[in-house]
Structures are given as structure tokens and as C-alpha cells.
Amino acid sequence: MTDKPFIDIRHAAKSYGALEVLKDISLQVRKGQIVAIIGPSGSGKSTLLRAINDLDPLTKGEVWLEDMQVNKPLPPRQYERHINQMRQQIGMVFQHFNLFPHLTVRGNITLAPKMLKRLTEAEANALAEKQLAHVGMLDRIDYYPSQLSGGQKQRVAIARALAMEPKVMLFDEVTSALDPELVEEVNLTMKKLAEEHMTMIIVTHEMRFAQDVCDRVLFMDQGVVVEEGPPEVIFRNPQHERTKNFLRKHLQGNAQ
């Protein structure tokens, strides 16, 4: 039973006209697994991640979360209801935070639980406090996003996603827009989540982080998964020339 995939991507393909950005990708993620997707820009890794909650709809293929198909073929109106339900179970954090600037940190976190889960003001506040404490941002609850540093914004964004109590968290290059000294606080927050066995799929450029935290690493290039395996194998002993080239460039850049 434990081998049954939690997230199941079946023959995912996506193209813009003649340009194929994803070419028949299948990926199974078990509950509690932490998967890193690495690869050069334009490799399709973000597109694959964004296909999981249908932000970037696939041209072909299926995405399943447990026994529910995320991109179920339905008439538009029913689909809208279905996908809103599915997305409540799939948390996502973006490179550019996408916090709502007109709301306070509290407002950012309580909005969706109040609207979608019908939480009362008091319940939503308690939830916000709990999630903010979790990411170490409770003292900023009444600040506006503009008053926070990049790392703080990202931690709030993580708390906002967690407040919906998702089954899986998707991270789309969440430290790429941060100043180097702010990366660590976000990485620590994600490590904490990992220790709590949250199922996570992480698109990242941080090889060190992928190596430390993830159970599995996928290397993507030109719309296909070139190679995948446990981090020790991918990073120490990659089999494919393209992986080797990519890692050589990246690890050099990171080390010096």
C-alpha cells in the first residue's frame, strides 16, 4: 500500500505550437517523499511543476493526487469547481512570493481559509498565528508585505500555503529571487517541513540544498527527464553526459 504513488504524473506532454516543452514525462511521488527537479533554464522543470496544479495545463497526459485526477476532463464550469477543490490540497510557493500587497501578513494567510473553508475570524486568526509561529514570523503578523525582507516574504508565503493544510507542497525556485544572505532562512524553513514529512516537489538551482534535503533528484533537459535517482547518485556519479555538464557548471559556480 505504501508503494502506491501519492502524486502520479502519467505521460505528461505540453507544447506551444510546434515547440514541445514537455515530452511524455511520467513521475510518481510517494507520500512524504521530497523530490528535487533540477536542470538548465528552459528545460521544462517549472512547467512540469506548474502542471501539477494546472497553472500550466498539459496538452496531453494526466496528473493524479491520490485517487483524484487533478486535470480531469470536465465541462468548464464543473472543471472550475473541481480544480479549485484540488488546488486547496496542493500548496504552491513562487519565486516572486506573490503575496497580496494590499493585505497584511495576517490578511494574506487568513483570506483563503476564511473564504474557502468557512473558518470564523477567530479560527482563522489562530491558524495564522500557528502557521506564522511555525515559520518564525509571528512577530510580523500585522506588517504589510512591503515592510518585509525577501526571505521574510517567502516564509510568509510558505505559511500562507500551509494554512490551507495541503497534502503536497510545490516550490518553484523559491530562493532564486533572494539576496544570498536571505536564502538560508527559507531553506531552513523548508528543511523543517521536510522533517515533518510533508510531501514536497522542489524546483531549484541550489544543488547543495537538493543534496541535503531531498530523497530523489530529477535532472531535466529539453522537456525530458534525462536522469533521476537518489541525490548521492545524481550528484556523485551521474550517468549521462548532459547531467555531468550541467553539474560541472553549477557546482563550480556554487563552490567558488
Contacts with another protein by CB under 8 A lie at 53, 55, 80-81, 84-85, 87-88, 90-92, 94, 96-102, 111-112, 115-116, 144-146, 160-161, 164
Query: What is the rounded CA–CA span in Å between residue 207 and residue 217?
Result: 10
Of 115 and 133, the one with the shorter C-beta distance to another protein is 115
**CB of 195: closest distance to another protein in angstroms?**
24
CA diameter of the chain: 56
Between 171 and 235, name the residue whose CB sits nearer to another protein: 171
In the complex, least distance from residue 84 CB atom to another protein, rounded to whole angstroms: 5
Q: Which three cell numbers stand for residue 79?
A: 472543471
Grid cell, residue 53, equals 496544479
Neighbours of 36 (CB within 10 A): 26
Contact between residue 22 and residue 52 where contact means Cβ atoms under 8 Å apart: no
Least distance (Å) between residue 102 CB and another protein: 5
Residue 153 vs 242, nearer CB to another protein:
153
For residue 156, with 0-12 CB atoms within 10 Å meaning exposed, 13-18 middle and 19 or more buried, which class applies? buried
Cβ atoms of 200 and 168 within 8 Å: the answer is: yes
Rounded to a whole number of angstroms, the minimum distance from the CB of residue 50 to another protein is: 9
Q: Considering the complex, state which of residue 200 and residue 207 has its C-beta at the smaller distance from another protein.
A: 200
d(CA 237, CA 214): 16
C-beta closer to another protein: residue 55 or 224: 55
Q: Which is nearer to another protein, 162 or 214 (CB)?
A: 162
Please state, in angstroms and rounded to a whole number, the distance separating the CA atoms of residues 6 and 28: 7
Q: Which is nearer to another protein, 28 or 98 (CB)?
A: 98
Residue located via cell numbers 516537489: 201
Spatial separation of the C-alpha atoms in residues 229 and 49, rounded to whole Å: 18
What minimum distance in Å lies between the beta carbon of 87 and another protein?
A: 4
Q: Which residue has the cell 550528484?
A: 235
SS3 of residue 69 by DSSP: strand
CB of 27 to another protein, least distance (A): 20
Residue 56: CB minimum distance to another protein, A: 10
